[in-house]
């Protein structure tokens, strides 16, 4: 019964926020990326993002990616500065090894700023990894 249910742990998949130059608007924006640092690809990737803080909530946004190769990444969305004042959640589900994996990633409110950035190897840029 319950002991027979295997719940796989999603490892080596990350969400990062990276500050990048936006040529269209001529300023720097925070962009969210999903990073597959696994040795195998991940398939049918679904991401649900939202921001919240008590009564304040953003719209819920949904994204789908068919396949993200091993050691690959995909840009998810641009995150506005006003939204970074809230806690931001990215809920990720994907298939790998013929199993369904899921993981919840959080960026605590007011934690995203350039002083907290670290090198993100696969992206070759500085950014912040979600917890």
What pLDDT does residue 26 have?
Answer: 81
What pLDDT does residue 24 have?
Answer: 81
What pLDDT does residue 114 have?
Answer: 87
Residue ranges of the domains in the chain? 2-129
What pLDDT does residue 2 have?
Answer: 63
User: 73-84: per-residue pLDDT in tens?
Assistant: 999 999 998 999
Question: Smallest Cα–Cα separation from 16: which of 40, 47, 39?
Answer: 47
**Cα–Cα distances in angstroms (integers) from residue 80 to residues 2, 19, 31, 74, 112, in the given order:** 42, 11, 9, 18, 11
pTM of the model: 0.90
Residues lower than pLDDT 50 in the chain: none
What pLDDT does residue 27 have?
Answer: 85
Class of CATH domain 2-129 = mainly beta
């Amino acid at each position: 019964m319950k002991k027979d249910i295997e719940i796989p742990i999603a490892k080596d998949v990350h969400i990062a926020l990276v500050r990048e130059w936006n040529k269209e608007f001529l300023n720097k924006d925070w962009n969210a990326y999903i990073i597959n640092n696994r040795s195998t690809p991940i398939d049918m990737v679904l991401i649900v993002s939202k921001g919240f803080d008590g009564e304040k909530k953003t719209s819920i946004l949904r994204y789908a990616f068919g396949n993200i190769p091993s050691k690959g990444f995909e840009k998810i969305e641009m995150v506005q500065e006003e939204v970074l004042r809230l806690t931001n959640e990215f809920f990720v589900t994907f298939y790998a090894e013929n199993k369904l994996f899921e993981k919840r990633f959080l960026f605590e409110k007011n934690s995203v700023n350039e002083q907290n950035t670290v090198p993100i190897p696969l992206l070759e840029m500085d950014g912040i990894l979600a917890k």
